[in-house]
Amino acid sequence: MFGLRKTLGSLFNSNQTDQAWFDALEESLILSDVGLPTTEQLILKLHKAAKSEKASSPDELKNLLVEEVSNLLSALEPKPNPLYTHDQKTIPEVWLVIGVNGAGKTTTIGKLCHLFRSQGKSVLLAAGDTFRAAARNQLQEWGGRNHVDVITQEGGDAAAVAHDAIHSAISRKSDILIIDTAGRLATQDHLMEELKKVKRVIGKALPGAPHQTLLVLDGNTGQNGLSQVKAFHTALELTGLIVTKLDGTAKGGVICALAHTFQESPKPAVLALGKGEGIHDLAPFTAKLYAAELFN
C-alpha cells in the first residue's frame, strides 16, 4: 500500500541499530513525505522511548515508532466519525466537497454516496462543477450507480446550483446532500472567492449548513498537500479530509506532517482513506491502524 514500507524494509531487517541506523531511518521518513520538523520530533521521541524501555532491536524500535506515530495521528481521528454517525435531523445534512483538479473528488463522492445509501440514508447529489460538462456527466454516472438523483444546471454558477439543491433536498426530505465543486488551486484567488460565495449561499439557504466542508487530498502530493490543507482551511474552515490514491505509490507520510503542523491549532479531521477506484474502496481512518500499515 505505502511506498514508505519499501524504504524501511531493509532497516527493520538489519541486525544492529547504531547511529547510522537512526540516520537512515530519519532520511527514509523525510523522503516519505513525513517532512523534516515531524521527522525530527519522531526521532527524538523514539530515542527517549528506546532509552526508557531499554529497547535496541529493530523489532522493538519499530513497535515503539508505530506507537509514537499512532499517538501523533490520534489527534486527527474524528470523534465520532461523521461518516458512520448521523444525528436524526429534520433538515438535510449538507456536505460541501472541495479540492484541486485530479484529487479524486467525484470518485470520492460516489463512494460516500454508496456508503450513506448502505446505511439506509436518502442522498441527493449536486453538480457544482459548472466549468466542465464532463464533470457533470461523471457525477451523473455515479448517481446512476447509486440510484440517486443529481441536481444540475446548464449555464448556471456553482452557488446557484447549491442553492437549488438545498431547496430540492428539503422538499424531498433527503437525509444527506453532497455538493460537488470544480477543482481549483488554493492560489487561484478568484476561484477561492467563488468557493467562499458558495459556502455563504449554502448558509443563507439553510442556516448551519454546510455541516461538513470536506477537502479531498491526493495522497501522492507529498508536502504540497500540506500547503493545500493550510490554504483551504484558512479560507473555508475545513471540517474534514479524505486522503485518496493510497493504493498505489503514495508514501503516506503527509498525514503525519498534517498532525504535527496542526497540533497546536484547530484542525480538520481525517475521515477516511481512498484505497482504490471501486465503489467500496473507502476505509475509515484510525490512527493505530494507519500507523501499523505505514511500517508493517
pLDDT tens for each residue of 229-276: 999 999 999 999 999 988 766 677 889 999 998 887 788 999 999 988
Q: How confident is the model at residue 3 (pLDDT cuts 50, 70, 90)?
A: low
Rounded to an integer, the average pLDDT of 217-226 is 86
The answer, yes or no, to whether residue 285 has pLDDT greater than 90, is yes
**Residue 163 in grid coordinates:** 442553492
**Residue 151 in grid coordinates:** 441536481
Fold of 93-285: Rossmann fold (3.40.50)
CATH number, domain 3-76: 1.20.120.140
- Same CATH fold, 93-285 and 3-76? no
Per-residue HEC secondary structure of 34-54 comes to CCHHHHHHHHHHHHHHHHHHC
Q: CB–CB of 172/56 below 8 Å?
A: no
**Residue 228 in grid coordinates:** 493545500
Rounded to an integer, the average pLDDT of 104-111 is 94
Sign of CA dihedral 254, 260, 241, 71: positive
Q: CB–CB of 165/124 below 8 Å?
A: yes
pTM assigned to the model: 0.91
Domain definitions of the chain by residue range: 3-76, 93-285
Rounded to an integer, the average pLDDT of 132-136 is 80
pLDDT digits (tens, 9 = 90+) for 147-189: 999 999 876 789 999 999 999 999 999 999 999 998 887 778 8
Report the C-alpha gap between 74 and 256 in whole angstroms.
Answer: 10
